[in-house]
Amino acid sequence: MHGFSRKGPSSRCSEATDTEGTTGYGLRSGCREAIDSGVFALGEVVTSAHAQNVLYSVASNFLEVKQLASTLLRQLPPSAVGLQVPERMRSVLQAALDLSTSTKPFDSVSAAHLLHLLLPQPHLTEALLHCAQEQGFPFHPPSPLPNASEAVILELNTLAVVQLLLCCLQSEVPRAEASLLQAAASYPLYGRAHCITAVLQPLNFETLTQTEQWRCVVSELIAVCYRMSDVVSPVVQSSSPEGLIPMDTDSETSAGLQRILQEIQPRDSNDFFTSARELDTHTGDDQTQTTHTPSLNTVSDFVHSPINLSACGEGYRVTAQMVLVCCWRSMKEVAMLLGQLCQSLPLHCADDTHAGLITEEQVEGVGLYFRRQLLQSRHRGAFELAYVGFVRLTEMLCRSGSPALQQLPARWLSEVLEEVKSSDPSSKLCATRRSAGIPFYIQA
User: What is the rounded CA–CA span in Å between residue 389 and residue 369?
Assistant: 10
**Angle, helices 124-135/150-178, rounded to nearest 10 degrees:** 20
Predicted local distance difference test score (pLDDT) of residue 266:
40
Q: Contact, 115 vs 196, CB < 8 A?
A: no
**Angle, helices 320-344/251-263, rounded to nearest 10 degrees:** 90
Predicted local distance difference test score (pLDDT) of residue 262:
55
Name every residue whose Cβ is closer than 8 Å to that of residue 118 and which is 6 or more positions away in sequence. Answer: 83, 89, 92, 93, 96, 124, 127, 157, 161
Q: Report which of 410, 417, 428, 429 is spatially closest to residue 367, judged by C-alpha positions.
A: 410
User: What is the rounded CA–CA span in Å between residue 222 and residue 220?
Assistant: 5
Predicted local distance difference test score (pLDDT) of residue 284:
41
User: What is the rounded CA–CA span in Å between residue 40 and residue 35?
Assistant: 6
User: What is the rounded CA–CA span in Å between residue 292 and residue 310?
Assistant: 7
Residue 146 is given by DSSP the state T
- pLDDT tens for the 444 residues of the chain, in order: 444 444 444 343 434 333 333 334 344 444 455 445 556 666 677 888 888 889 989 988 888 999 999 999 988 888 888 898 999 999 999 999 999 999 888 899 999 999 999 999 998 999 999 999 888 888 888 887 788 899 999 999 999 999 999 999 999 999 999 888 888 888 899 999 999 999 999 999 988 989 999 999 999 999 999 999 999 887 777 655 544 545 555 555 555 555 555 555 444 344 433 444 343 444 444 433 444 444 444 333 444 333 333 433 344 456 667 787 888 889 989 999 999 999 999 988 766 656 789 999 999 999 999 988 887 766 666 667 788 888 899 888 988 878 888 898 888 888 878 777 776 655 556 555 445 667 777 776
Predicted local distance difference test score (pLDDT) of residue 419:
74
The span from the first CA to the last CA of the chain, in angstroms, equals: 45
Predicted local distance difference test score (pLDDT) of residue 43:
65
Neighbours of 75 (CB within 10 A): 11
Predicted local distance difference test score (pLDDT) of residue 436:
61
Predicted local distance difference test score (pLDDT) of residue 191:
95
Bridge partners for 319 per DSSP: 278
User: What is the rounded CA–CA span in Å between residue 78 and residue 48?
Assistant: 10
Contacts 24+ apart (CB under 8 A), 62-70: 62/9, 63/106, 63/109, 65/9, 65/12, 66/109, 66/110, 66/113, 67/113, 69/113, 70/113, 70/116, 70/117
User: What is the rounded CA–CA span in Å between residue 70 and residue 379?
Assistant: 36
Q: What are phi and psi of 278, to 5 degrees?
A: -85, 130
Residue 325: strand, helix, or coil:
helix
Phi-psi sector, 20: left (phi>0), alpha (psi -120 to 50), beta: left
Residue 118: strand, helix, or coil:
helix
User: What is the rounded CA–CA span in Å between residue 188 and residue 32?
Assistant: 48
Predicted local distance difference test score (pLDDT) of residue 283:
40
